């Protein structure tokens, strides 16, 4: 699955539904499908906010593949290139800011930020325990 969108928040629901449909086809449980959708939603919202400074006309490319029991989602942006992996995030959902990064780390098995010469590539990995 490959999808390229523009960094307009109005596109978040479409991408979330696409990745949830894909995850469901891969055999993930309903709970896992919702978690994966939430993670992708938060990651793209963070790209829009932090990498693109809320610009609504910049590209975001999403690629997802499923092999064996592993879902791999790659989000590519051409933004600031700032690496948030050293950021501690915010574990308190009542305190604004930083919740998205904590969400990624808690709901995915692996989260990797790979700076690119012209942006960032975020790889999200989730094992399908329902297929084991």
Q: What is the pTM of this model?
A: 0.91
**Segments forming the whole domain that contains residue 47:** 2-131
CATH code, domain with 71 = 3.30.565.10
Instruction: Check the CA dihedral 129-109-28-68 and report its sign.
Output: negative
Alpha carbon of 42 to those of 11, 17, 27: distances in Å?
13, 13, 22
pLDDT exceeds 60 at position 75: yes
pLDDT exceeds 80 at position 116: yes
Domain count of the fold of the chain:
1
CB-based contact 58:11 (threshold 8 Å): no
Instruction: For residue 37, name the pLDDT band (cuts at 50, 70, 90).
Output: very high
């Amino acid at each position: 699955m490959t999808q390229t969108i523009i960094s307009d928040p109005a596109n978040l629901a479409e991408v979330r539904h696409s990745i949830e449909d894909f995850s469901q086809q891969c055999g993930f449980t309903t709970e896992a499908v919702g978690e994966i959708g939430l993670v992708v939603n938060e990651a793209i919202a963070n790209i829009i906010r932090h990498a693109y400074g809320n610009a609504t006309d910049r590209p975001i490319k999403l690629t997802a593949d499923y092999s064996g029991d592993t879902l791999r989602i790659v989000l590519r942006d051409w933004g600031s290139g700032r690496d948030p992996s050293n950021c501690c995030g915010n574990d308190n959902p009542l305190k604004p800011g930083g919740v998205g990064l904590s969400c990624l780390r808690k709901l995915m098995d692996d989260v990797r930020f790979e700076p690119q010469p012209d942006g960032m590539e975020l790889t999200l990995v989730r094992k399908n325990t329902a297929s084991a």
